[in-house]
């Protein structure tokens, strides 16, 4: 009886912990049902939105861990990359050269903006979220002044570029990226991209081995593991560059159903390969049970890829592999940075600044670094978003990246004191599913899709308000208990 009661209690506790996620998931499902929209269409639209928006949502993780709350100031990262895009296009760059130039300009600029924002956060401890909003409004005003009056008014501008308003003063309201950088990341061939990733992985691994060797911290098992993984990734890279692979699956984008199949096969083979290497070469402890558990999710994906209903559902959906790899990369970066000494310092600062300060941690420096990381990642995320859309409003494109992605992260179950990669991924899926079906559902219910548009705006701010209210409600009793004690 006690076991049964404990089970029910645990379920109720879990539901209460994930109440925001469950609430909006239910609303999304109801929206899908009411709208009557084809599931294949919704999945196709949702995949596109997921690829374009997830990177920015994951850029919000580090500041939350460092105790800064939701970094509404990531808007300045968007402005940094937009200035860089304009500069690259104005100078006639397109394609990969434009992409490299944009990244080379945007990253230092975003670091500068992040540093300034971090300094401001350190002056307004406890009010970082409102500070981020106000700072983004100020920065937006300066950004708009530069592009609307500075270009052509103060700095000479060439109208023949097609980016300047007739009359020679100010940048056009909308910049078309078609034929310039539209799809520049989405269209990169994954085979060539994997070669670069493999080379970077090998260099980092070798540097790590050399550093450990010089510090007399040789780890034979770690070296063997690195070699084993390198061999496997090298085989995958060679396979990805074979002509028949590109002819069968595509060289840049892969259908979702094929991606499920490939993920299932590669992940299962990798787990079996590493099990054999650990058992017979590396000599590390491992069990067949652990291997089977790790193979369960890939096995489910593999089985799903052969089910006719799933194949029909995924027929319209293609995934740009390189862009998707960047999303995986930022998730891995978040996990890595938070596992380092710097990450542990961030966690300490986020939990209690007084304790962190007494432990010898430079609190202001850690908070500034967290802000800079978030701003740089937001700049890269905005680049992914704009090249996916193919056009951007010069003066407005950056306006909602903070609000919308904060709302998505909160919908995924994050709070202003706790956030993980999974919160960003789940939140983007649920939040944008609502964005897709809301106008259509409103059209069915009220005969006016415009109501759905208003609902989407209301939803964004309602999520943020609800999350802040829940946080204050949960924090309030703890304070009162401490006061009584």
What confidence tens digit (pLDDT) does each residue in 26-53 have? 888 888 888 888 888 888 899 999 999 9
CA geometry: angle 75, 80, 86, nearest 5 deg: 125
- For the chain, the farthest-separated pair of C-alpha atoms sits apart, in whole angstroms, at 81
Give the per-residue pLDDT at 3.
Answer: 58
Is residue 387 included in any domain, yes or no?
Answer: yes
- Do the domain assignments include residue 272? no
Number of domains in the chain: 1
Side-chain half-sphere CA neighbours of 349 within 13 A: 29
Instruction: Give the lowest-confidence range in 303-312, 351-360, 446-455.
Output: 446-455
* Matching residue, tokens 């542990």: 344
Q: Give the torsion through C-alpha atoms of 422, 231, 283, 211, to 10 deg.
A: -80
Which pLDDT does position 25 carry in this prediction?
A: 85
How far from the centroid of its chain's Cα atoms is residue 33's Cα? 28
How far apart are alpha carbons 234 and 191 in whole angstroms? 11
Do the domain assignments include residue 138? Answer: yes
Go through 28-53 and write b for each residue having 16 or more CB atoms within 10 A of its CB, e for each that does not.
beebbeebebeeeebbbbbbbbbbbb
Residue 131, in any domain of the structure: yes
- The burial class, CB within 10 Å (0-12 / 13-18 / 19+), for 259 is buried
Q: How many residues does the chain have?
A: 485
Tell me the pLDDT tens digit for each residue of 330-340: 999 999 999 89
User: Cα separation of 304 and 256, whole Å?
Assistant: 11
Q: How many helices (H) and strands (E) does the chain have?
A: 21, 4
- Tell me the pLDDT tens digit for each residue of 133-176: 999 999 999 999 999 888 888 888 888 888 888 888 889 999 99
Average pLDDT score over residue span 107-125: 94
Tell me, yes or no, whether 293 lies in a domain: no
Question: Is residue 4 within a helix (H) or strand (E), and if so which, with residue range?
Answer: helix 2-17
Residue percentage of the chain with pLDDT more than 70: 92
* pLDDT at residue 26 in the model: 85
The model carries a pTM of: 0.90
Q: For residue 243, what are its two tokens?
A: 């002509």
Domain range for 169 is 19-185+318-484
Residue 485 clears pLDDT 50, i.e. is over it:
no
| Cβ(94)–Cβ(181) below 8 Å | yes
pLDDT of residue 455 exceeding 90 = no
Higher pLDDT pick, 477 / 58: 58
Residue 405 belongs to a domain: yes
> Is 263 domain-assigned?
no
Dist. CA 325–CA 385, nearest whole Å: 14
**Position 7 in a domain:** no
Q: Residue 422 is part of a domain; what is its CATH number?
A: 1.10.3470
């Amino acid at each position: 009886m006690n076991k049964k009661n404990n089970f029910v209690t645990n379920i109720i506790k879990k539901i209460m912990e994930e109440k925001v996620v469950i609430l909006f998931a239910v609303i999304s499902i109801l929206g899908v049902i009411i709208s009557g929209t084809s599931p294949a269409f919704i999945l196709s639209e949702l995949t596109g939105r997921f690829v374009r928006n997830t990177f920015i949502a994951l850029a919000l993780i580090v500041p939350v861990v460092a105790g800064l709350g939701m970094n509404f100031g990531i808007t300045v990262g968007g402005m940094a990359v937009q200035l860089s895009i304009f500069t690259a296009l104005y100078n006639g760059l397109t394609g990969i050269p434009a992409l490299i130039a944009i990244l080379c300009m945007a990253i230092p600029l975003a670091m500068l903006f992040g540093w300034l924002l971090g300094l401001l956060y350190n002056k307004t401890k406890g009010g970082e979220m409102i500070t981020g909003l106000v700072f983004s409004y100020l920065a937006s005003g300066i950004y708009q002044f530069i592009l609307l009056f500075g270009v052509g008014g103060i700095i000479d501008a060439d109208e023949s570029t097609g980016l300047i308003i007739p009359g020679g003063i100010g940048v056009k309201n909308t910049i078309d990226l078609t034929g310039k950088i539209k799809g520049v990341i989405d269209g990169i061939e994954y085979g060539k991209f994997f070669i670069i990733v493999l080379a970077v992985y090998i260099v980092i691994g070798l540097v790590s081995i050399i550093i450990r060797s010089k510090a007399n911290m040789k780890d034979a098992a770690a070296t063997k593991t690195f070699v084993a993984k390198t061999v496997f990734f090298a085989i995958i890279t060679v396979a990805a560059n074979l002509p028949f692979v590109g002819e069968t699956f595509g060289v840049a984008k892969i259908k979702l159903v094929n991606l499920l199949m490939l993920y299932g096969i590669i992940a299962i083979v990798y787990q079996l390969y590493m099990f054999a290497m650990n058992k017979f070469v590396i000599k590390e402890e491992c069990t067949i049970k652990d291997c089977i558990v790790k193979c369960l999710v890939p096995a489910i994906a593999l089985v799903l890829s052969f089910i006719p209903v799933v194949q029909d559902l995924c027929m319209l959906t293609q995934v740009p592999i390189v862009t998707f790899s960047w999303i995986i990369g930022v998730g891995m970066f978040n996990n890595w940075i938070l596992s380092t000494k710097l990450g542990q310092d961030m966690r300490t600062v986020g939990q209690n600044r007084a304790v962190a300060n007494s432990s010898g941690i430079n609190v202001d420096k850690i908070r500034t670094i967290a802000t800079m990381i978030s701003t740089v990642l937001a700049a890269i995320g905005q680049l992914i978003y704009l090249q996916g859309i193919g056009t951007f409003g010069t003066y407005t494109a950056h306006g909602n990246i903070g609000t919308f992605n904060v709302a998505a992260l909160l919908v995924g179950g994050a709070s202003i004191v706790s956030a993980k990669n999974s919160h960003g991924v789940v939140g983007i899926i649920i939040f944008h599913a609502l964005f897709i079906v809301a106008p259509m559902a409103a059209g069915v219910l009220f005969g006016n899709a415009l109501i759905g548009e208003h609902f989407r705006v209301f939803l964004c701010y309602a999520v943020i308000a609800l999350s802040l209210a829940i946080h204050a409600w949960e924090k309030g009793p703890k304070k009162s208990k401490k006061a009584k004690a």
